[in-house]
Amino acid sequence: MTGDFELKDKYNLSDAVDLVKLLRDPVKGCDWDKVQTHRSIRNNFIEEVYEACDCIDRDDSECLLEELGDVLLQVLLHAEIERQLGGFDIDEVSDYLIKKLIARHPHIFSDDVVENKEEVLVNWEKLKRREKGQKSGTDSIMDVPKAYPALIKSEKYQKRAAYVGFDYPGAEWAFSDLVSEVSELEERIETGAEKDGLEEEIGDVIFSAVNVARFYDIDAEHAAQKSAERFAERFRLVEKFAAEEGVELKTGDINRLNELWSKAKNALDCRNIK
């Protein structure tokens, strides 16, 4: 025994709950853990979720095992903080979750019939809107968390507007809108617009690009992440080739830099084909 916690070879979820309670104990707890608040560990929660997502992207199950534990710790800490404040506890979190899942799966827990997974999602959205008392598209859009990353938030807004009928009839319309927004940005640049004006137009271009992605069932956030990683990989090769050829990136001719970029891109394309 260490304090009120029994050391053993194998632990379960109940043990994790008890351990967090001990760490948060005002007398016996850890000096760091017991002074944390919802707000002080808010960013920790976000970071742990991103780290878990990174494991998923790398298909690394051993990494995911560890990072899911870190995410679980954040859930347990927030639940224990709230319990100590006189609010809910982890059992109430579980109770709320289970009741919500039962209510959102009437095709499993009642006589409702659905034909496919698409119909399941439609019903899920209807039930969620009913639970939250959302009577309009605006109600639904305003319910989207402000803390969402911009691309995810944009897609959520677009989907919720489309749910109530405010949408383009097809992808070609969304693409035409994207072209129009790019033209407006180009015009602002050519006329020497101030930073605020450029920021607005660049935002419109990004929002429109997300809408095109939505029509093709492409996750814009994931697409942007992959594009960023491709850039990083190509840039690594650019630096490698530049060093081999004695080219200084800071002082190199733009045409030479473009040649290095094309060389890096072709090298990676050939590798991916193989």
Split at pLDDT 50, 70, 90, the class of 274 is: very low
Q: Which residue has the higher pLDDT, 117 or 222?
A: 222
Q: State mean pLDDT over 140-162.
A: 93
Q: Which domains does the chain have, with CATH numbers?
A: 13-88 (1.10.287.1080), 222-273 (no CATH)
Q: What pLDDT, on a 0 to 100 scale, did the predictor assign at position 109? A: 85
Q: What pLDDT, on a 0 to 100 scale, did the predictor assign at position 156? A: 95
pLDDT exceeds 90 at position 128: no
Split at pLDDT 50, 70, 90, the class of 3 is: low
Q: State mean pLDDT over 139-162.
A: 93
Q: What pLDDT, on a 0 to 100 scale, did the predictor assign at position 124? A: 78
Q: Which residue has the higher pLDDT, 231 or 121?
A: 231
Q: Whole-model pTM?
A: 0.72
Q: What pLDDT, on a 0 to 100 scale, did the predictor assign at position 2? A: 58
Q: What pLDDT, on a 0 to 100 scale, did the predictor assign at position 273? A: 52
DSSP track, the chain: -BTTB---S---HHHHHHHHHHHT-TTTS-TTGGG--TTTTHHHHHHHHHHHHHHHHTT-HHHHHHHHHHHHHHHHHHHHHHHHTTS--HHHHHHHHHHHHHHH-HHHHSS---SSHHHHHHHHHHHHHHHTT--SHHHHHHTS-TTS-HHHHHHHHHHHHHHTT-S-SSHHHHHHHHHHHHHHHHHHHHTT--HHHHHHHHHHHHHHHHHHHHHTT--HHHHHHHHHHHHHHHHHHHHHHHHHHT--TTTS-HHHHHHHHHHHHHHHHHHHH-
CA atoms within 13 A on the CB side of 85: 12
Q: What is the mean pLDDT of the chain?
A: 92
